[in-house]
Structure 1
Amino acid sequence: MNSQPNGTVGGSATVGSWIKRVINTIAVDETGTTTLDSNVFTLDAGTYDIDVTTTYYKSGYIRTRLFNITNLLAICESVNGYNGSEACSFSHIKGRFVLSARQQLAIEYRVHSSSGGSTGLGEPCSFGQNEISF
């Protein structure tokens, strides 16, 4: 997940191609073998369930996916989404997948608009606790 200090915005959405979402925290690692480096996480061979929700603000059409960097393959993808001029929306990936060997993975997004500026990847709640944009 992307966990930032209270009041921190989610960041600007980049238009045009698939971009890695910031990942700075592994919330659950039941195997104890997951590694994280430069927004890429590495998993051992096995069967995994994924359940990820990402936030967007004023980003137009949106998609999110789990991408296997090792094999250059999309594993799970969200349905098409859209948020308008004053809307915040969510994109959801849920699925089960199997890795036959240790693989590098990333959560990627693609948007149609960057109208949300520095909050395109999520607005802060400023509730006095860390901000979670996914």
Structure 2
Amino acid sequence: MPNPIQISQLGSEKLQPDDTDLIPIQQADGITRHISKENLFANYAPISQAPSGSQYIHLQHTVASGQGSGGKQSVQWTARPINTIKFDQTGLALLSNNTITLPAGIYVCDAVGQFYDCGLIKTRLQDVTNDATLGRGYFTYTNWGSMMYLIPLKAIFTLAQSTDIQLQYFQAGGNYDGTYNMGAPWSYPGVPEVFADIILAKIG
């Protein structure tokens, strides 16, 4: 067995971690960066605790009262319907054919979507420009009676350039009718239906 390395003097031993500790983080592009614990935990804070100066983007899948949510049977990854930009402090977000175009930056994502009678469902947030997965939602079975299921997805990611992203789903089994599978309407007069929400905080 080799002898252990001997060092004449180490100095005082650091027993308690603090916010100056550097943690290696590998980005989606494979580059490893070192970030302080303070900044890392700031990035992982909930949307409500995002750093001051953050810019917010709010998108929805919404239709008029009583209208169906649509959807289609899909045993491959498919873009979930997203049709409205409700709020955009960056002034740069675009939305077309369920695809969101975002400017470069660091983002915290808090998303949720309804599913109804779809069998087994997986969800993910996908960078379709670079074919990279930015975050994954829960794997859920959605066939227990006449119930709607809210499947959340949370992610933190960095975009090096303007990038197209989608909230996607993968379905297996279930009675997929294509009318209410992305959520059943409430049908209260004059109140729009909301079937999915995506809130993004651009924190850098």
TM-score band (shorter)?
A: over 0.9
Higher relative contact order (CA 8 A, sep 6+): 1
The structure with more radius of gyration: 2
Work out the CA distance in 1 between the residues paired with 2:148 and 2:97. 26
Deviation of 1:12 (Å): 3.4
The equivalent residue for 1:109 is 169
Corresponding residue SS for 1:133: strand
1:93 aligned residue: 153
Aligned-residue offset at 1:27: 2.5
Which 5+ residue runs of structure 1 have no aligned equivalent? Answer: none
**Which of 82, 98, 104 matches 1:45?**
104
Matched letter for residue 124 of structure 1 = P
Return the offset for 1:23.
1.3
Aligned residues: 134
1:13 CA displacement: 3.4
Q: What one-letter code is carried by the residue in structure 2 that aligns with 1:133?
A: F
| Structure 2 gap segments, 5+ residues each | 1-59, 197-204
RMSD (CA atoms): 1.3
Q: State the match for 2:22 in structure 1.
A: none
1:111-130 aligned within 5 A: 111-117=171-177, 118-128=179-189, 129-130=191-192
Q: Which runs of 4+ in 1 moved over 6 A?
A: none
Question: Residues of 2 paired with 1:13 and 1:88: CA distance?
Answer: 16
Instruction: State the secondary structure of the residue aligned to 1:27.
Output: strand
Deviation at 1:85, TM superposition (A): 4.5
Candidates 10, 19, 27, aligned match of 2:86: 27
Q: What TM-score do the two structures reach when normalised by structure 2?
A: 0.62
CA–CA separation in structure 2 for the residues paired with 1:17 and 1:77? 15
Identity %: 27
TM-score by length of 1: 0.93
Name the residue aligned to 1:15: 74
